[in-house]
Structure 1
Amino acid sequence: MSETTDAPTEEEFEKATSAELDEADIEKDRAIVGRDWASRSQEFLSTATPEGIRNFATGYGDDNPLFTDPEYGRGTRWGGQIAPPIMAAILNAPLRGERPSKQERGGSYRGIHAFVSGGIWDWYRPIRPGDTLYGFGGLESVELKRSEFAGRSVVKVNRQVKMNQNAEVVGVYRTLVIYTERKKARERGKYKDIEDPSYTDEDLAKIEEIYAGESPRGGAPRYFEDVRIGEALPPMAKGPLTTTDMIVFHAGGYGFVPYGLKTGRLAHQNRQRIAPFYIKNEYGVPDVAQRVHWDSAWAQAIGTPRAYDYGVLRECWAHHYLTDWAGDDAWVVSQHDEIRKFNYQGDTHFLSGEVTGKTVAEDGRCLVDIAFKGTNQRGEDTVKGTAVVVLPSREHGPALLPEVPAELQRKAVEMMSRHGELLREGRR
């Protein structure tokens, strides 16, 4: 091994950061819009265990005992521990089914930077310890557009239906992903002049004061009749963001499949499988392009001032905010969030929200509309969204779960039936 650092050459760096959007990739995507396939991904976690549920919740800072304490859950309407509904995003066991051909797998976008720009969730039932989740779905839409950040970009909406081992639909997750050209983002350098954050002891004391005042609603029911339109939700703090936050989020179960974080021989195998995902660092060592989330030098190479978080992490923060407010007897029916700006290392976010509407549905469910946002210390709203929560009612009774659309449930049963057939035949 050489004692000198074999850092990437100018040619290697240019190649690693100069991939351009390929029209062929876009056409491949357009050809598969609307197709459903069984998800073969083996996520970091596939089955919810008491410890897995707890670790996922605490991985984004949620200490709600409904999620973290099995004993506590026995005294709630659920009769036991349940997972934060958004945990459905990171649970997946391989579902057997027809495998798409190469022509039906869409574009690969090798060397193109991708980031989550938002999501839409609909939840139908809780995840309980012992539940194994499977998924099916595909590309719902693809659009070529000009991005404020990086010139040309591709905007894709992926849809995943998540079901448990009984073919019961747990939720539907739509993620909006933006693919941008790294070189153009670097050349434009729109965000390069954002100043590094600096905190005084007084600044930190104000953040700690918010943390000290936070707590989940817990077992005290929030009744529909007691909520008023225009009512403000209490504040919540998240940050200042550190590399430790990224480590804890991954340790909680976020696996970034199908790319993933690998080490040793497994990393070697991954490099053979997806070589363009690995780009030499300053020591000449191939490392994941994903390190933009903890390696500021690499983040700067693609046009941002520092490492930044995952959009999925801020989705989890928003979910934490909603479930804390709603309480044990409620259910978050849906969540729609938009990631507007980056959340860089050192940034602090302050979550706020407001009740924007109240409705009693035909089936007697008492629905409350929420608008929420996350604002950083520079006064920028980096995430905005809306949600619908069903609350218990003194007049109408408990917060009932929504019905799964019949066609969606039928499709889930079909997919699980085919999975069973292939298992019996010994086929994948």
Structure 2
Amino acid sequence: MDSNRETMVADRTLDCSDLDNYLGKPLQPARMKEPLHNNDFRRWVQAMHYPNLLHYDHDFAKEGRYGRLVAPQSFAVATDDGHGAGPACVGRVPGSHLIFGGDEWWFYGPRIFGGDMIHNEKIPFDYVVKETKFAGPTCFQRGDNNYYNQDGDLIAKQRSTGIRYRNDLAVEMGSMDATEDPEWTDQALAELEERKLEFINMMHDLGHGKRYWEDVSIGDALPVRVFGPHSIASITTEWRAYLFTLWGDTHRPVIDFEALGFDPAMAGHENDGVMERINPELTDGAYFGPSRGHLFPRWARYIGMPRPYGYGASMGAWILDYLAGWAGEYGQVVHVNSAYRGPAFTGDATFMTATVIDKMVDEQGRHVVQIDCKMADQLGKTMATAKGEIELPTRK
């Protein structure tokens, strides 16, 4: 360990004082360069393990509510230039790295279709510093993303939580030490594939039908949703489904990760519009910079993770897709608040369960059910928790 790093570890502080200069001040908005295409939706649901015919099968969608393919509600985050992290990663925090801590979503009705142009207005919201077992002093920073279409309709609001921490302290504390992928027998993999059909068959059985509010009872359990085992290949597929990972796809913001205090080894040129025109591979965080810990074991360990891992924004999408797939095409997720407790590591599988905990008619006259959701790995370790509200059609 070099002397500078020894000094930092010795003082065990996290300087977040610069963040106060940014709260409540709008950032450069994220803007796409070209209209969305149906293949963007297909690529997204494929990457998110979400085989809902409404979002990728032309013939099925044509017979449904919208008469054409429609993006899943989770797709809004794919239209940002940094999967919602921008307003939750402003201000300088020396010697830091960032992972996702959670997302809260509100949806306002409009859906996203091929041909739409989406832009995102970003505003830093707040932050708090807490002591954690993972990395000692840890900053939980929140920022708002407001997604609009070309007509100015507000589609959704995402309040994203960035966890900014000292990766040197995370390595020193060593809270995650399972560095090898678990082994799955052929029989266990076959059983996993069989279990995946429970949620998939539920969507097929509902088809274009309606899940009526009156037919849902408090205590009802949703079908278990299963996917994985996760791998570097599947995590890479996730990354490529975010539109900003394509060369020239968005109007790039000006981001200097080293100026944000990122460890120099993890800074790089991700999302750098100037470098994109010189050597675009250097702007791809999957290869260089802040995001490469997801795909390379060496860099995962460098930031305090035992092995490669999936994206927090994808976990948020998995939750939204789970609730929306159960609700059907005539239902809509109107609000969900998710907390991410641990990522999807390579070799692990993900199991999602949920229960109806309340029913109500809200102040807007909508018939709503409230869902409690949990995401865990094959050992039962909690990866995420969420509570969501879903508007359902009513027989009345």
* Shared fold, TM over 0.5: yes
Q: Distance in 2 between matches of 1:319 and 1:22?
A: 33
Superposition pairs for residues 39-58 of structure 1, below 5 Å? 39=29, 41-42=30-31, 47-58=35-46
- Contact 1:92–1:132 under 8 Å retained in 2: no
Task: Quickly say closer, same or farther: Cα 1:193–1:364, change in 2 above 3 A.
Answer: closer
Alignment of 1:150-299 (within 5 A): 150-193=135-178, 196-215=181-200, 216=203, 217-253=206-242, 255=244, 260=270, 266=276, 287-299=288-300
Structure number with larger C-alpha Rg:
1
Shift, 1:332, TM fit: 1.1
Separation of aligned partners in 1, 2:240 and 2:93: 28
Instruction: Provide closer, same or farther for how the CA distance between residues 245 and 158 of structure 1 changes in structure 2, counting only shifts above 3 A.
Output: same
CA distance in 2, matches of 1:387, 1:287: 36
Question: Which blocks of at least 5 consecutive residues in structure 1 are unaligned?
Answer: 1-9, 95-104, 279-285, 396-428
Q: What letter is aligned with 1:246?
A: I
How far is the alpha carbon of 1:147 from its aligned partner?
A: 2.1
Query: What is the deviation of 1:364?
Result: 3.3
| Structure 1 segment 276-355 matched on structure 2, within 5 A | 287-355=288-356
| 8 Å contact from structure 1 (residues 307, 344) kept in 2 | yes
Deviations 1:83-135 (A, max 9, x none): 111211121489xxxxxxxxxx9513365210011000111121111111111
Gaps of 5+ in 2: 83-88, 246-251, 256-268
Q: Tell me the distance in 2 between the aligned counterparts of 1:139 and 1:93.
A: 15
CA distance in 2, matches of 1:93, 1:150: 28
SS in 1 for 2:224: strand
Task: Please tell me the residue identity of whatever aligns with 1:323.
Answer: A
Report how many residues are paired: 362
Amino acid at match of 2:370: D
Aligned to 1:282: none
Deviation at 1:49, TM superposition (A): 1.3
Partner of 2:97: 113
Q: More deviation in 210-219 or 199-208?
A: 210-219
Do the aligned partners of residues 113 and 46 (structure 1) sit closer, same or farther apart at CA in structure 2, a change above 3 Å counting? farther
Q: Is the 8 A contact 2:359 2:370 kept in 1?
A: yes
Most deviating of 146-155 and 176-185: 146-155
Cα pair distance change 1:22/1:380, threshold 3 Å = closer
Counterpart residue identity of residue 325, structure 1: W
The DSSP-based 3-state class of the residue aligned with 1:234 is coil
Measured at CA, do residues 21 and 334 of structure 1 come closer, stay the same or move farther in structure 2, by a change above 3 Å? same
| Partner Cα separation in structure 2 for residue 299 and residue 93 of structure 1 | 23
- Aligned pair in 2 of structure 1 residues 13, 321: CA closer, same or farther (>3 Å)? farther
> How far apart in 2 are the matches of 1:151 and 1:221?
48
Aligned AA for 2:78?
I
Change in 2 beyond 3 A, CA 1:21/1:84: farther
Could you tell me which amino acid in structure 1 is paired with residue 43 of structure 2? N
User: Distance between the aligned counterparts of 1:93 and 1:11, measured in 2?
Assistant: 35
d(CA) in 1 for partners of 2:382 and 2:243? 25
Aligned-partner SS, 2:309: coil
Name the SS for the 2:370 alignment partner.
Answer: strand
Q: Is the 8 A contact 2:343 2:383 kept in 1?
A: yes
- Cα separation, 2, equivalents of 1:307 and 1:119: 21
- AA of the residue aligned to 1:255: F
- Give yes or no for the alignment of 1:73 onto 2:73: no
Q: Percent identity of the aligned residues? A: 25
1:159 Cα offset (Å): 0.4
Displacement, 1:260?
A: 3.8
The structure-2 alpha-carbon separation of the partners of 1:142 and 1:194, relative to structure 1 and needing over 3 Å to count, comes to same
Normalization by structure 1: what TM-score? 0.76
Quick one: structure 1 residues 302 and 364, their matched pair in 2 at CA, closer, same or farther if it must change by over 3 Å?
Answer: closer
Tell me which amino acid in the other structure corresponds to 1:299.
A
User: 1:12 deviation in Å?
Assistant: 11
- CA 1:93–1:380 in 2, change beyond 3 Å: closer, same or farther? closer
- Tell me: CA distance 1:228–1:272, structure 2 relative to 1, closer, same or farther (3 Å): closer
What's the CA shift string for 1:262-282, capped at 9, x where partnerless? 9xx7396579999xx89xxxx
SS at match of 2:394: coil
Q: Assess, with a 3 A threshold, how the Cα gap between structure 1 residues 330 and 349 changes in structure 2: closer, same or farther.
A: same
Contact 1:64–1:218, Cα closer than 8 Å, also in 2:
no
Distance 2:288 2:73 in 1: 33
Deviations 1:385-419 (CA, angstroms, capped at 9, x unpaired): 01111111111xxxxxxxxxxxxxxxxxxxxxxxx
Aligned position for 1:63 = 51
Q: Write the deviation string for residues 291-341 of structure 1: whole angstroms up to 9, x where unpaired.
A: 111111221233322111111111111122112211111111112111012
Measure how far apart 1:71 and its partner are: 3.8
Q: 2:121 aligned with 1:136, yes or no?
A: yes
Tell me the equivalent position of 2:266.
none
Tell me how far apart the structure 2 counterparts of residues 204 and 271 of structure 1 sit (CA, whole Å): 35
Amino acid at match of 2:359: K
Amino acid across the alignment from 2:76: A
CA–CA distance in 2 between the matches of 1:223 and 1:355?
A: 14
Aligned-residue RMSD, C-alpha: 3.3
Query: In the aligned structure 2, how far is the partner of 1:303 from the partner of 1:250?
Result: 20
Indicate whether 1:32 and 2:33 are aligned. Answer: no
